[in-house]
Amino acid sequence: MRKTIRSTLAAALAVGFSATLSTPSYASASDCVGGNGTNDSYQTCTTVEGTGLWVRRWQTSAYSSLGGQHVYARFYVNGKRVHTVKRYTGAPKRLAVKFPGKLPRKYRDGTRLCNVWSVNTHYKSCITVHK
């Protein structure tokens, strides 16, 4: 009986200690709209990583079938455009850009983070920030 209690106590302490040492886990969410797959120019994606209301990474991607042109990624917070990033595409390819503003950043619960690319303006990809 004493051995069982000691073993149980040791196991509980080991689990608690290892949980204390582990790094915080980050939540992530992604949303892709339009298109039929990753190399479809009609697909726009948004990826957000963070913990709770804190966003530490915000990235968007789209496949551009254009070559030798500038394309634009637009970042929206609750419907208001906050940044535009210009990218030159020398050949058809998947383009990805990170949020150019300061991160990590805390947003209110329910905030909508969205992206639209100039190669496909009628597809808006969005993530909702939650506690």
Question: How does pLDDT run across 45-65, given as a tens digit for each residue?
Answer: 999 999 889 999 999 999 888
Question: How does pLDDT run across 18-30, given as a tens digit for each residue?
Answer: 333 334 445 689 9
**Distance between CA atoms of 28 and 51, rounded to whole angstroms?**
8
HSE value, Cβ hemisphere, 13 Å, CA-based, for 117: 29
3: Cα separation from own chain's centroid: 48
Enter the pTM of the model.
0.76
Q: Which fold has domain 26-128?
A: Immunoglobulin-like (2.60.40)
pLDDT of residue 37: 63
Is the sign of the CA dihedral 111, 47, 99, 83 positive or negative? negative
Structure tokens at 112: 């909508």
pLDDT of residue 55: 96
**Distance between CA atoms of 124 and 46, rounded to whole angstroms?**
9
> Domain extents for the chain?
26-128
pLDDT of residue 79: 97
